[in-house]
Amino acid sequence: MGTLDIDEKTFERWRQRARTLGLSVEDWLHQLVKPDLPKTASEMSPDEWINWLHEFASRHPPTGYPVDDSRESIYD
């Protein structure tokens, strides 16, 4: 783990913000910067997986025309 050098005034503001949430400054900063990674398929229940698939499909509307998705088409 690394260290972060900041001035006392900034640290005190951070400490106050963290304290209002009942956290240490380190835990508060970790919550701010940690990636919000989705669950993997193996961690999801069947219903969660089905919902995820439906949401994924809804973000990718049909093109309206045929698409060549054959393996050979990627070499063209």
Q: How many domains does the chain have?
A: 1
| Alpha-carbon distance values, 48 to 17, 19, 41 (Å) | 34, 35, 9
| pLDDT (0 to 100) of residue 76 | 66
| Residue 43, in any domain of the structure | no
| Residue 23, in any domain of the structure | yes
Model pTM? 0.45
How confident is the model over 49-71, as a mean pLDDT?
89
| Residue 51, in any domain of the structure | no
| Residue 17, in any domain of the structure | yes
| Residue 57, in any domain of the structure | no
Q: Which domain holds residue 22?
A: 7-35
Burial class of residue 23, CB neighbours in 10 A (0-12, 13-18, 19+): middle
| Residue 11, in any domain of the structure | yes
Who has greater pLDDT, 15 or 4?
15
Summarised one tens digit per residue, pLDDT across range 9-39 is: 999 999 999 999 999 999 999 888 877 667 8
Tracing tokens 């690394």 back to the chain, one arrives at: 2
| Residue 65, in any domain of the structure | no
| pLDDT (0 to 100) of residue 12 | 95
| pLDDT (0 to 100) of residue 24 | 94
Closest to 6 in 3D by CA, of 21, 24, 25, 23? 25
| Residue 29, in any domain of the structure | yes
CA pair distance 35, 27, nearest whole angstrom: 14
